Amino acid sequence: MRIALYVRNLDEQYQISVYRGIRTQAAKMGIDLICIQNETIEQATLYNKNLFPSMRFLSVDGVLLLSSVIVLDIEFDLPERIIKLFNNLPCVSIGKRLNTFPSLLIRNRYSMESILNHLVLDHGYRKFLFMGGPSTHRDNIIREHVFKKSMQKYMYQFKEIEFEVVNCDFLEMSAIQAMKTYVRSHEHHPVDVVVTANDSMAIGVLKCLRSINNNEWKKCAVTGFDDIPQAQMEIPALTTVKQPLDLLGQMSVSTLYDFHLKESVPKVQLVNTEVVIRNSCGCNRFNIEDSSSDSFEGLNSPKDFKEKMLQIYTREIKSEEYLKHVSILAQQLNSAYSIKELVLCLQDFLEKMEIKVCYFFLYPQGENIDTNKAHLLYERYEGTEIMLSDVSPQISLKDFFDSLFLKKHSEPFFHCLLHLNAEEVPLGLLVYEADDSVQPHLCNAALLLQNAIRLIQVLDKEKDRADQLEVEVAKRTSDLVKANKELKKEADKRIAVEAEVLKISEMERLRFSLDLHDDICQRLAGISMFCTSLKTAQEPVLKDLSSMIDETLLRTRQYAHDFFPLELDTLGLHEAFESLCMNVQKQTGCVCTYEWKVAPDIQLSVTKKMNLFRIIQEGMQNVIKHSKATHVLLSAVSSKTHIFVTLEDNGTGKVEKKAVQNSKTAKRMVLGRGLGLKSMEYRAHQINAEYSWKSESGKGTAIKLKVPLEDENQ
């Protein structure tokens, strides 16, 4: 016969104790057992998942449900849904009554009443705090109800009886937080005793009371419920109610076996509890030196006690070692960036934990994950181990478990199945065999594994996305490079056309300048000479006419020079700049300082010389017409790669807007200056020069050019 046991997680003593009793009885009866973890009914209901998904690939003859931990609220149609899901397999409920199923329950009422009698009558406590579990949990409902009824009964006899009820989870940390909150709000009104709904909560309360700096609260007594192994190791040892969990597990197997054989079984079976008086309630029930004192867990002599304590301490030392291995696993998984590295970490951990049987499955990832198939990545069985790639073929889980169950075993096997999930996303499975002391640490390791798996999967998705983006970026970059080449080609064509236009314009300037100089100026010179020859006539009109002709000749020559400076073509940019400065100083009286620090071996193209001259010429025109400057500095300095040309004046700077609002002259001045600036910027662009123009009111104007020296062959 093969049976399945459904629990929440084998990470705490209540579930481990029931599992131990079930396993013990199954071994006696030659029954194979598989314990399934992390398939709780409330999670399936909350996240709209199927109940017990493992039944799709497990073949068993009967089912045990630890309903006290996997079922919080019993829905109206839940038993019928379970019957349908299990295909009418025999089912037994443990810890909670489910209609239509045989149920095994703990009789809580009598023990809770007994422990309250002890606290009220033997110790004389009058101020009580009941710290219960979730208000909807069946066990808590019963225990809380018995507590309230007992307190109300005692209030008729003892008027000073007071009590309060606080609810939290059945967990140690939850109890610590709840107790801290309660103590802060009742700092000067401590209770006599805290009655808790289970031992984990009682241990949490004891830890809280040991940590506070309030002597009155430190005197508070504490009681628990369940009698887990840690209860007897607490300081003080915990007074509690012992549940015969091993017996409960054994009875459940026998009941399921009879049910499977179609024999008549009781619908409900009750198992009595037992009060265990220790020290936390205020009693001093055990003295090591007094062999006649009350027994310690059935031990009747100091020698037996010492042997028992040695076993307990050995177990504690082993537990510390296991915790260290879990911590090392956590550190290793932090640096695991692939499934292969993760499997190596798992292999090392299983070796240290002395796990002999383990199978690690990983579900294929996608939007709709098929949990009937998985990749078997690691196998450890009977001294051999196999590590496979995460791209290994998927196998059917049903075929795997059928094959596993059919393997020959000299004794019944007891496998545990643990689901790995992250944010309700199924990741994989762990199938293993382990000692009871190792079970909580394997559950912690499973949490670390599933977080590491999820992180690796997210990183892989991001890597795939990055690769896709890289391909898209490369394609887009190729398109942009192609488009940029086309734009550059068009820009080069435009620049070539603009350069040709400028060249033609300069040629026209040269032709016009030559015509002025060679034709008009020569004619005016001849007329001037003719008039001079007639001065003997002593006619005043001829004298005036000769003077006007000389002045016109001078201006015409100046226009011809300004229109196209012949020294630029014959002598060079240095002489052209020098001549320009001399003319400006002569015409305006403005002091012009000129500096030329260009290496003599640098030869500029005609285009660059012409455009540089025109830019500076335009800047000088702005100085003459608008700036009212008294000093101008023109400098040209070269480096290995550039020529830096600067024109600075100490004039008025740019015209303020207020001054041009109602002044037509000023508006024309600003308009002309704007066209001149655009002309300078345009010419700088033609020779690939960096151009800047800065003008501040009252601080003058500065024009700066950075001209590259490459491509001087144009």
Question: How many other CB atoms are there within 10 angstroms of residue 160's CB atom?
Answer: 7
Paired strand residues for 700: 696
Residue 705 has pLDDT above 60, yes or no: yes
CA gap 271, 105 in Å, rounded: 6
Higher pLDDT, 84 or 193: 193
Contact 592, 585 (CB under 8 A): yes
Superfamily of domain 572-714: Histidine kinase-like ATPase, C-terminal domain (3.30.565.10)
Question: Which of 581, 577, 603, 599 is CA-nearest to residue 590?
Answer: 581
Would you say domain 106-245+265-310 falls under CATH 3.20.20.70?
A: no
Q: Which of 601, 55, 674, 697 is nearest to 372 (CA)?
A: 55
For the chain, the distance separating the N- and C-terminal CA atoms, rounded to the nearest angstrom, is 98
For residue 193, with 0-12 CB atoms within 10 Å meaning exposed, 13-18 middle and 19 or more buried, which class applies?
buried
- pLDDT tens, position by position, 162-181: 999 999 988 899 999 999 99
User: Which of 77-91, 216-230, 456-470 is least confident?
Assistant: 77-91
For residue 556, pLDDT over 80 is answered with no
Over residues 83-101, mean pLDDT: 84
Angle at 310 between CA 203 and CA 434, to 5 degrees: 75
Q: Residue 80: its pLDDT value, please?
A: 75
CA pair distance 30, 695, nearest whole angstrom = 101
Give the pLDDT mean for 238-255.
91
Instruction: Tell me if 636 sits within 8 A of 595, measured CB to CB.
Output: yes
Of the two residues 88 and 661, the one the predictor is more confident about is 88
CA 416 → CA 35, 413, 419, distances in Å? 5, 10, 10
Closest CA relative to residue 633, chosen from 254, 625, 95, 644 = 644
Q: How much is the average pLDDT of 328-354?
A: 91
Mean pLDDT of the chain: 82
Q: What is the pLDDT of residues 201-236, one digit of tens each?
A: 999 999 999 988 888 898 999 999 988 878 887 888
pLDDT in tens, 594-641: 999 988 888 888 788 888 888 888 888 888 887 888 899 999 999 889
What residues form DSSP beta bridges with 62? 3
pLDDT tens-digit readout, 496-544: 666 666 666 666 665 566 555 555 666 666 666 666 666 555 566 666 6
Q: Percent of the chain, pLDDT > 90?
A: 33
Do the beta carbons of residue 308 and residue 299 sit within 8 Å? Answer: yes
Find residue 226's DSSP bridge partners. Answer: 242
Domain ranges of the chain: 106-245+265-310, 572-714
Check pLDDT > 70 for residue 395.
yes
pLDDT in tens, 28-57: 999 999 999 988 776 665 555 667 788 888
Q: Count CB-CB contacts under 10 A for residue 689.
A: 21
Quick one: pLDDT at residue 294? 37
| DSSP-derived pairing of the beta strands 62-65 and 91-94 | parallel
| pLDDT of residue 659 exceeding 60 | no
Angle at which helices 606-622 and 664-686 pack, to 10 degrees?
Answer: 160
Mean pLDDT of 409-414: 79
Tell me the two tokens of residue 71.
Answer: 């079922």
Query: Per-residue DSSP letters for 254-271?
Result: HHHHHHHTT----SEEEE
Phi, psi of 216 (to 5 degrees): -65, -40
Distance, CA of 59 to CA of 85 (rounded, Å): 13
Task: Report how many helices (DSSP H) and strands (DSSP E) the chain contains, helices first.
Answer: 21, 23
Q: Count other C-beta atoms under 10 Å from residue 241's C-beta.
A: 23
Using a 10 angstrom Cβ sphere, with 0-12 exposed, 13-18 middle and 19 or more buried, the burial of residue 247 is middle
Strands 357-362 and 274-276, how do they pair?
unpaired
pLDDT at 358: 93
Summarize the confidence of residues 124-151 as an average pLDDT: 90
